[in-house]
Structure 1
Amino acid sequence: MRALRSSAVAALAAATAVTAVAGCAAKNDGKGGGKGAVKVTATDSSCELSAKEFPAGHVQFSVENKGSQVTEVYVYAPGDRIVTERENIGPGTNAEITAEIKAGSYEIACKPGMKGKGIRQKVTVSGKSAAAKRDPKLDAAVAAYRTYVQEQADQTLPKAQKFADAVKSGDLEAAKKAYALSRIGWERTEPVAESFGDIDPKVDVRADGLRDGQKWTGWHKLEKSLWEEKKISGDDKKLADQLITDLKDWQKRVGKAEITPTSMANGAKELLDEVATGKVTGEEERYSHTDLVDFQGNVEGAEKAYQLLKPVVSKNEPALAKELDKQFAAIRGLLDDHRDDKSTDGFVSYDTVGKGDRKKLSDGVNALAEPLSKLAAAVATAK
């Protein structure tokens, strides 16, 4: 999970302006927003929108960061449920996000420095979405992806239970061996888990991501005990039980998550952003150095979403599909360079990966993230 957020996903420094149009994404005019665009201008102290009401349907967000800090932009539904997000928007850069949004009340948040609850603006989305007219292949993709995320949650629980049992028995080495493997299903589907707002901060928050007054719980608190403190306390054993309780909550709720073709596409991009801001940097698994396991999980989850959407993308944007196939294959190849058959989790410890190899991984992520950022717009325009 990204630090300092209720749950979000990094976007590589790119532009952002916000455009909202019903039914399909607005066409970009090359000036930071398409016709009818609602621009979001972010600075270090403000988050300005050119309109606060727009129609339901496929909404294109284009954000421009005029501040001096890296920022991120979220669209929140009530209860801080994340509808869509984009992190790591560098100073002076622009990017676009396309999402399918129903009628209702929302908040758009800009987070200079990628910290806190952000500077928020209330917006109203009205009317009926035209999404019901979409290509039946997209409905099939959503159904298949819904099955996939449920399977990942179901498969995670026994692995997490094995980890929790090792912690509760005080078996330090067994807990270490089970730790990374217990997280794979979560890492593959993290954007869906994060969309609930309250589960991710309980199970996947890092110390620097805690909210005011929040107790540190979940995987990373236990990770710190196992690798840095090298001991298991009575509190850790209680936290192991709490982790299972929270993951069962996720397992129960994930099948009811709101999933659309564009949320699948944005989720794929968010997973790559996760890699860019947490895994390649070594920040996510700072004690265990099992970042490459998470890295692979994020890539696998992103590729699954893409493969399910590919029949439509190949028809409408064949060049984009070809490039995505190429870049997914390339990033898998880069990961293969760091496999270790003797390791329980299949990879070398990330602290043994040098700067040169980390740069190769980073460059590979960037090369994939650029075409992946176009996936949501490609499926939004499908008829």
Structure 2
Amino acid sequence: MTPSRLLAVTTTVGLAALALTGCVAKSDVAASGALKVTSTDTACDVSTATASSGTLTFDVTNASSDVSEFYLLANDGLRIVGEVENIAPGASRSLTVLAQPGDYYTLCKPGMVGEGVGRTGFSVTGDKIAATGDDAEQKQQAVTLYASFVKDQVEQLVPAVATFVAAYKAGDDDKARTLFPTTRAYYERIEPVAESLGDLDPRIDYREVDAAAEGLTWTGFHRIEKDLWVPAQDAVNSDGSTPAWKDWAPSTPAERATHGDQLIADVGQLNDYVHSDEFTQALDAQGVAGISNGAIALLDEVATGKISGEEDWWSGTDLWDFAANVEGSKMAFSLVQEFAASSGDKGKNLVSKIQRGYDDLDASLARHGSLATGFVTYSTLTESDKREFTDLINALAEPLSQLTSTILE
């Protein structure tokens, strides 16, 4: 990342209007009635795997030994359609959503950390349901769903960082190198949230040159990255000069422990923040404009750092960060696209142009790998590859820059 960016809060939900809570007439309630969910330490049992479109109510009972959450996820397993959290052991809570036809997943998360348990396919059949109710209510629900997405990503980041740091501290560098880009993906999807918290993002994600420029102690992911991909001591810059890291020495085991523990503590602080009233109030204050600006900010992340290969300087894993930023940006757009499209033909045309831009960028990225299977290292890209990415980002950035003003019209 670069330190001079404007800070914005990102948001996300489905690529279409998958569900809105509490915005449907009683006559549209799904015939299936309330669905029973039991959350345990190892399972997430739902009374049925199918339902008719309309208002669905999930009555969730927590039979696990820890506080739990229940999610209804979109068919990519990432986007959150609805979520109910902080269900104490022995307690019950309800989640009500307006579910459109399609494929989903149900999931419980005992302890409110990690990937969760009992991920199971859930199918909604029938006709598409038109949402009703106040526009402000629907916009607030969009913000609420984004908050759930951010919390979910950070809850998965916490144990991922713990596993990554454990390998690093133990000197298992092969394992740590494998975990480095996949762990960072959780952070990259919601990065501007951390950027809004003063010195937290610098501690987690500053590059060496950024920390030096601001006179900060260098910590975080990239400090550990340099230990894992030790720079060649005989290297020289393209102009023949000596690199700034020429006399750099790898961290001792004690120093590794310090760097690793600091990253765990900082990510823990981020987790505390996204579960706080302060975070909720910040999102509420920005509303859907914050969502739209977040889509723009995450694309800027790609344009200002990832596309140049400067983010993961030592590892060359920039394409993982690139893809995660695009996912976050695309999902932020998806949350507000219906508001933009409702502004008339101009809005509909803008939404179509933005969607085509994301599709083209996704297709280009897919030629070099994926977050699921891994990407090629950045050094293997040709100048033609880089120009293609640059052109696609610029083509998407132009209509995306008009999104906020369109949804506020």
TM over 0.5: yes
Q: Is residue 318 from structure 1 mapped to residue 366 from structure 2 by the alignment? A: no
Equivalent AA in structure 2 for residue 327 of structure 1: G
The aligned counterpart of 1:122 is none
Matches within 5 A, 1:282-361: 282-316=309-343, 317-339=347-369, 346-361=374-389
Of residues 361, 377, 383, the one that matches 2:405 is: 377
Following superposition, the deviation at residue 345 of structure 1 comes to 5.7
**SS of alignment partner, residue 315 of structure 2:** coil
Q: Is residue 268 from structure 1 mapped to residue 269 from structure 2 by the alignment? A: no
Following superposition, the deviation at residue 185 of structure 1 comes to 1.2
Q: Is residue 160 from structure 1 mapped to residue 161 from structure 2 by the alignment? A: yes
For structure 2, the 5+ residue unaligned runs are 9-133, 233-249
For residues 272-305 of structure 1, give each alpha carbon's deviation from its aligned partner in whole angstroms, at most 9, with x where no partner exists: 1110110010000111000000001000001111
Contact 2:231 2:314 in 1 (8 A): no
Equivalent AA in structure 2 for residue 213 of structure 1: G
Equivalent AA in structure 1 for residue 203 of structure 2: K
Following superposition, the deviation at residue 213 of structure 1 comes to 3.5
Contact 1:327 1:367 in 2 (8 A): yes
The aligned counterpart of 1:203 is 204
**SS of alignment partner, residue 228 of structure 1:** coil
Counterparts in 2 of 1:314 and 1:6: CA distance versus 1, 3 Å: closer
Matches within 5 A, 1:23-42: none
Counterparts in 2 of 1:171 and 1:232: CA distance versus 1, 3 Å: farther
For residues 320-347 of structure 1, give each alpha carbon's deviation from its aligned partner in whole angstroms, at most 9, with x where no partner exists: 1111111111110010010179xx8610
Contact 1:167 1:232 in 2 (8 A): no
The aligned counterpart of 1:281 is 308
The aligned counterpart of 2:73 is none
- The more displaced of 160-169 and 224-233 is 224-233
The aligned counterpart of 1:223 is 225
The aligned counterpart of 2:56 is none
Following superposition, the deviation at residue 229 of structure 1 comes to 4.4
Contact 1:166 1:172 in 2 (8 A): yes
Contact 2:291 2:335 in 1 (8 A): no
Equivalent AA in structure 2 for residue 360 of structure 1: E
Counterparts in 2 of 1:349 and 1:212: CA distance versus 1, 3 Å: closer
**SS of alignment partner, residue 218 of structure 2:** coil
The 1-side partners of 2:251 and 2:179 are apart by: 15
* TM-score, structure 2 as length reference: 0.59
**Percent sequence identity over aligned pairs:** 35
Equivalent AA in structure 1 for residue 351 of structure 2: A
* TM-score, structure 1 as length reference: 0.63
The aligned counterpart of 1:241 is 261
The 1-side partners of 2:256 and 2:203 are apart by: 14
Contact 1:8 1:194 in 2 (8 A): yes
**SS of alignment partner, residue 342 of structure 2:** helix
Following superposition, the deviation at residue 135 of structure 1 comes to 3.2
The aligned counterpart of 1:25 is none
Matches within 5 A, 1:5-16: 5=4, 8=7
The 2-side partners of 1:266 and 1:6 are apart by: 12
The count of residues paired between Structure 1 and Structure 2 equals: 255
Counterparts in 2 of 1:7 and 1:184: CA distance versus 1, 3 Å: farther
For structure 1, the 5+ residue unaligned runs are 10-132
Contact 2:185 2:320 in 1 (8 A): yes
Counterparts in 2 of 1:329 and 1:368: CA distance versus 1, 3 Å: same
Compute the RMSD of aligned alpha carbons. 2.0
Contact 1:203 1:219 in 2 (8 A): yes
Equivalent AA in structure 1 for residue 300 of structure 2: D
Of residues 270, 279, 285, the one that matches 1:250 is: 270
The aligned counterpart of 1:15 is none
Contact 2:292 2:403 in 1 (8 A): yes
Matches within 5 A, 1:38-117: none
Contact 2:160 2:183 in 1 (8 A): yes
Contact 2:339 2:407 in 1 (8 A): yes
For residues 240-295 of structure 1, give each alpha carbon's deviation from its aligned partner in whole angstroms, at most 9, with x where no partner exists: 11101000100110244212211111111111111011001000011100000000
